[in-house]
Amino acid sequence: MNRLMIVMLALIFASCGATKKTDQPAKSTLYTKWELILFDEQPVRGEKPIFIELGDDNRIGGFVGCNQIGGTYTIANGDGIRFEKLITTRMACPELTLENEVVKMLNTVDKFSIDGEKLMLSIGSGKPLAIFHRMKDDEIVNKYWKLKRLGDRGIEMAKNQEREQYFTLRSDNTISGFAGCNHFNGSYELKEGNRIIFNDNMAVTMMACPDVEVNERAFLKVFKQADNYTIDGDILYLNEGEKGTIATFEAVHFY
């Protein structure tokens, strides 16, 4: 075999090896927090973000809806994953169905894939059982923001109001919340300089609450007007241009 042929074969083998290597998801991309955004093909819109955190020490932590979770995991053959020795805290919550299903899913899956900012968990070559988004670390994201003031007016809940008015921003650029009678969801975009843009077409449920003294329109109008924000500790101010603050919120911490 002449020298030229040897060189050509060496280049071919090297190219194949490089291609095989890049086909495997890099482990380092796993080592972060992942927020659950799709479960059993349904969007996850709970008020508390569900997430897992995968460490480079093969430990898993996170929050699954009511309780914190911990355990270990192993990676095999590039895209194989197994979660083991999973345990949760024992907090009592009125609704644990989703939490129990998420823990069951983690105990079942054996494959993962990463596509950009998304992590998919599945069984074998089947469709993803859960899709996660890389969790953002912006201080405005993944917090439960409770309305405190509209303009200069303090907000008090009506006696027969279901819950306080609030909103939450998710890592996948979606927003969800409660306007006083109806729930709403949509999308948002963060830009440099603490600028924020909410989409104009929020989806709002159509419940009628004639006996609840709450101004939903005024609250929802905030998201049409606000274009920037400031944060001072647990207080969020949504502002409109140079007009100043149009709504004030307070962060509620669940864990």
- pLDDT 10s digit of each residue in the chain, 255 long? 455 444 444 443 444 444 333 334 455 589 999 999 999 999 998 778 899 999 999 999 999 999 999 999 999 998 999 999 999 999 888 889 999 999 999 999 999 999 999 999 999 999 999 999 999 989 999 999 999 999 999 999 888 898 999 999 999 999 999 999 999 999 999 999 999 999 988 999 999 888 888 989 999 999 999 999 999 999 999 999 989 999 999 998 765
Q: Which class would CATH give 144-252?
A: mainly beta
Question: Which pLDDT does position 63 carry in this prediction?
Answer: 95
Q: Where are the domains of the chain?
A: 21-134, 144-252
Q: Where are the beta strands (DSSP E) in 68-143?
A: 68-76, 80-88, 111-115, 118-122, 130-134
Closest CA to 39 of 106, 132, 130, 123: 130
Instruction: Retrieve residue 238's tokens.
Output: 């949504």
Question: Which pLDDT does position 255 carry in this prediction?
Answer: 56
Topology at the third CATH level for domain 21-134: Lipocalin (2.40.128)
Question: Which pLDDT does position 242 carry in this prediction?
Answer: 84
Domains 21-134 and 144-252 share a fold: yes
